[in-house]
Amino acid sequence: MKLRSLVSAVCVGLFVSACASHPPVRQEAHRRVQEGATLVDVRSPEEFAEGHLPGAVNIPVDDLSARLGELGGPDTSIVVYCRSGARSGRAERLLKEQGFRNVLSLGAMSNWE
């Protein structure tokens, strides 16, 4: 029983430490956008038309490779999002593979609030 309590305490401590050293994605996304990051909605144009985050540009993930020039150079700060997080994860990987160094996936649009 004492070992289980010790293990639990260590796990909680590691979790709290990890959370303290890495701000939540939402806060980091807000900070980056406030500092001028380009906010990119990687959903379809139809989804974008139904509603999007203020200031976002729409570049669907399937069009991203062909539209990289619209994002600026490799040092451009970019925050990507979608409906559930799957497409924004793909977009983040693609952008990093193309040499963009300052990319953050917010995941789902609902993570903004």
From 40, 61, 82, 91, active-site residue: 82
Query: Is 82 labeled as catalytic in the residue annotation?
Result: yes
CA 4-8-12 angle, 5° bins? 175
Q: How far apart are CA 8 and CA 45, in angstroms?
A: 47
> What phi and psi values does residue 58 have, to the nearest 5 degrees?
-105, 115
For residue 26, the SS3 value is helix
Q: How far apart are CA 15 and CA 9, in angstroms?
A: 10
Residue 102: alpha-carbon gap to chain centroid: 11
Give the catalytic positions in this structure. 82
